[in-house]
């Protein structure tokens, strides 16, 4: 696509770099776009890059780094100044991929993170064990599929703003994540905002912006 227009001053305007969505782009498109980004001296990062694609991209970008569970590919390391801490919380084992997408992107952007996985509401004592640590975070990203109840419970327990990420984990009436999304939107505990289903990148960018307020 010679038509692709790099939005090279996005960082100046919005404070965050553009993250290329790798899932629907070919190797050729990704190479061209990432190279153009390096040439324009903007951070060259792609999300939803499969291990197979990453393997092939590495040949073009010797200084690249790839995060497998998070599916994030950095064509070149960039220095971001270190900022305050984000807690990344996941309800179930199956929510970890999206949680890692958010967590790794935050680390890449220079934000310290701590992760708390497998603390869903079905065994709420697991949450209470790690609660003192979560309470120390400046922002809390909560990732949950199934019934998505974890952000509601946490919002009643912590002072930090909560960014809830519904995931498509579930079956039957899970509706590809819509059940979890609806739960989060209808939370009776204020202080929760929501991003799109499986949108770990969006949660990370919003958390990053909040830390820079």
CB of residue 62 to a second copy, shortest distance in Å: 25
Q: Residue 113 or 199: which CB sits closer to a second copy?
A: 199
* Token reading at 31: 């190479």
Concatenated DSSP letters for 154-182?
HHTT-SS-EEEEE-----GGGGGGHHHHH
Q: Is 96 in the site for a second copy (CB under 8 A)?
A: yes
According to CB under 8 A, which residues from 11 to 50 bind a second copy? 13-16, 19, 23-25, 29
What gap in Å lies between CA 168 and CA 207, rounded to an integer?
21
127's tokens: 């949450």
Kindly write out the interface string for residues 98-137 of this chain, putting x where it contacts a second copy by CB under 8 A and - elsewhere.
-----------------x-xxxxxxxxxx-----------
Of 80 and 124, CB closest to a second copy: 124
Measured in whole angstroms, the distance separating CA 73 from the mean position of its chain's CA atoms is 13
1 binds a second copy (CB under 8 A): yes
Instruction: Point out which span in 35-43, 52-60, 74-82, 84-92 binds a second copy (CB under 8 A).
Output: 84-92
- Cβ closest to a second copy, residue 62 vs residue 213: 213
Q: Is 81 in the site for a second copy (CB under 8 A)?
A: no
Q: Which of 75, 139, 142, 143 binds a second copy (CB under 8 A)?
A: 139
**Which are the contacts of 12, defined by CB distance < 8 A and separation ≥ 6?**
none
Which CB atom, from 62 or from 190, has the smaller least distance to a second copy?
190
Q: How far apart are CA 150 and CA 142, in angstroms?
A: 7
End-to-end CA distance of the chain: 36
For residue 78, state whether it binds a second copy (rule: CB under 8 A).
no
Residue count (the chain): 213
Q: Find the shortest distance in angstroms from Cβ 162 to a second copy.
A: 8
Q: Where does 9-146 have alpha helices with state H? A: 10-14, 27-39, 51-60, 96-108, 125-134
Q: Which of residues 145-164 bind a second copy (CB under 8 A)?
A: 146-149, 152-153, 155-161, 163
């Amino acid at each position: 696509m010679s038509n692709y227009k790099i939005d090279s001053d996005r960082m100046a305007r919005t404070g965050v770099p553009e993250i290329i969505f790798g899932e629907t782009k070919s190797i050729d498109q990704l190479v061209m776009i990432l190279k153009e980004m390096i040439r324009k001296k903007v951070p060259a990062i792609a999300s939803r890059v499969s291990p197979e694609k990453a393997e092939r991209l590495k040949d073009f970008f010797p200084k690249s780094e790839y995060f497998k569970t998070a599916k994030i590919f950095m064509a070149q390391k960039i220095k971001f100044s270190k900022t305050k801490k984000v807690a990344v919380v996941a309800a179930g084992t199956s929510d970890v991929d999206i949680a890692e997408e958010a967590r790794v992107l935050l680390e890449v952007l220079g934000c310290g993170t701590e992760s708390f996985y497998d603390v869903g509401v079905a065994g709420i004592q697991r949450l209470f064990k790690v609660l003192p640590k979560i309470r120390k975070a400046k922002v809390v990203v909560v990732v949950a599929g199934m019934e998505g109840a974890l952000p509601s419970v946490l919002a009643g327990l912590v002072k930090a703003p909560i960014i809830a990420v519904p995931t498509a984990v579930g079956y039957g009436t899970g509706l590809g994540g819509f059940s979890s999304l609806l739960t989060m939107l209808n939370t009776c505990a204020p202080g929760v905002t929501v991003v799109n289903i499986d949108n770990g990148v969006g949660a990370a960018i919003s958390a990053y912006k909040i830390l820079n307020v």
